[in-house]
Amino acid sequence: MLTKTSIDKGITSGKNVRLLSVLLISLLLIPAVQGQGASEALQECPSTLTGSTQPQQIHLQTTENPSEMNVLWATERRGNAEVQWDGQSAIGESYCYNHDMAFHLATMTGLEPGEEVSYRVGDGNTWSSEISFTTIDPEANRFEWISIADHGISGEADLVSDAILADSDAQMVTISGDISYANGDQSIWDDYFNYNQNSMQTIPWMTSVGNHENEPGIEFEAYQHRFDSEGEIEVEPFWYSRNLPGVHMIFMSSEHPYDSSSAQFSWLENDFSTIDRDITPFVIVYSHKPMYSSNSYHGSEFELRESLESLFITNQVDIVIAGHDHFYERTHPVKAEVVQVAGEAPVHLVIGIGGRDAYEELDEPQPEWSAYRENNTYGWTRLVYDGEAQTLDLTHHRTDGTIGDSFTLYVNQPIIEPEESYIYGFEPFFTLLVIIAAASRKGISF
């Protein structure tokens, strides 16, 4: 395999001149649609001049426009990037970074909401198999999705991935950071995408960036090349939002400045001002590091809380979903560590149970703001928006098939009498009697 080092050595010694000429000619023959110039590709990833053009690592990403869908994939060799769908086609762009894979991005447009789309990707000669997905209708009365964090590749992570693939009703996956745990080994990213491709090519996986996406020597370069929700080559935004049925999702970065003088803070303020609660009554913020965590390994991110908690409360954020600590925890509605009436402050979830080693040491005694926690399990969180009932249900699933926790948010829910809620905890089948409180705008049932 050719590398930049081997090419430099050949030039210095006066050898391999013919080979270098062939490489340069090959680069010049790359079509003009490519996203990088010849000199950049030769310097950063010369090995992408040879190899297979068979698409792999195929994955979907939503855009701000529900009638569009980005599709990204990888090949060993650079070349054309094209997507064909339902009798239409679009030319995309190809690019690379310091890794021996070429990456491609193309956008499907003019999609009808709630309709099935069949597509394939390739270079015009070599194609993927035909794949199908169903577009998300932002006006739908029901929306189901899965949220995970701290995933990676492991036996437990594989169980989570397999459960996601088996869930035929889920329309999206969100990841609150620490995605592949490549930590500088780019082949781990390749393995991660290929293992999860069967799901990623049929429903979009949307991400918040975590500390493990900040890789040694290249920082966030791999993340920026491998994910793209805005259709800008090599520029994956670190904060963005989406309107889904009944839910406005904000994907922020706890790995970049977020104080009141930062660009991210200004963006958050502006994004909150655009939300129409009649259309998206629920607001969820995805972040990697948690504002509230009673796990002793990392714990609460106090700077994040000091900078953004008031902003989130003022703009009536319903749920903040984070990872970073490898355990599960749900808080009561909380402000400044004081439990609030339902609807007056967000509920915080830490769901860092996607497959990495569990952090088992917890702060004792359990803080009053901590409603439920468990520290030795793995799993995922499943969310369902029901427009008719005006509810948002969240369920914590364990990889052993049991349910660890569940709760419901209501829109304009009147005060109702206490009722029993059955929750599987550390001991099987125990009953937790809870009071379902409600605010003027929302209520919560645990």
pLDDT digits (tens, 9 = 90+) for 405-422: 999 999 975 433 333 332
Query: Is pLDDT larger for residue 440 or for residue 404?
Result: 404
Token pair 């991110």 is at which residue?
Answer: 301
Q: What's the pLDDT tens digit per position in 359-370?
A: 999 999 999 999
pLDDT of residue 45: 83
Q: pTM score, two decimals?
A: 0.87
pLDDT band at 228 (very low <50, low <70, confident <90, very high): confident
Reported confidence tier of residue 94, pLDDT bands at 50, 70, 90: very high
Q: Quick one: pLDDT band at residue 3, thresholds 50, 70, 90?
A: very low
Write down the pLDDT at residue 38. Answer: 57
CA dihedral 290, 293, 297, 298 (to 10 degrees): 30
CATH 3.60.21.10 spans which residues of the chain? 142-445
Q: What is the mean pLDDT of residues 395-400?
A: 98
Q: What is the pLDDT of residues 267-298, one digit of tens each?
A: 999 999 999 999 999 999 999 999 999 999 99
CATH of domain 142-445: 3.60.21.10
The answer to whether residue 258 scores a pLDDT higher than 70 is yes
Contacts of residue 250, defined as CB under 8 A and 6 or more positions apart, other chains included, come to 239, 241, 268, 271, 283, 284, 285, 286
Find residue 331's DSSP bridge partners.
Answer: 370
Region(s) of the chain under CATH 2.60.40.380 = 1-135
Helices marked H in 55-185: 155-166
Is 60 exceeded by the pLDDT of residue 156? yes
Span 44-68, mean pLDDT? 93
Higher pLDDT, 419 or 354: 354
Confidence of residue 36 (pLDDT cuts 50, 70, 90): low
Region 1-135: CATH code: 2.60.40.380
Comparison of pLDDT for 426 and 332, the residue scoring more: 332
pLDDT of residue 231: 62
Would you state the structure tokens that stand for residue 146, as one six-digit string? 């899965």
- For the cut 50, the answer to whether the pLDDT of residue 440 exceeds it is no
CA dihedral 408, 414, 416, 422 (to 10 degrees): 0
How high is the pLDDT of residue 44? Answer: 72
Q: Would you state the pLDDT for residue 46? A: 86
Q: Within 13 Å of residue 406, how many CA atoms lie on the same side as its CB?
A: 17
- Residue 327 is given by DSSP the state S
Higher pLDDT, 259 or 416: 259
Percent of the chain with pLDDT over 70: 81
20 within 8 A of 10, measured Cβ to Cβ: yes
232: alpha, beta or left, given left = phi > 0 and alpha = psi -120 to 50?
Answer: beta
CB distance 68 to 82 below 8 Å: no
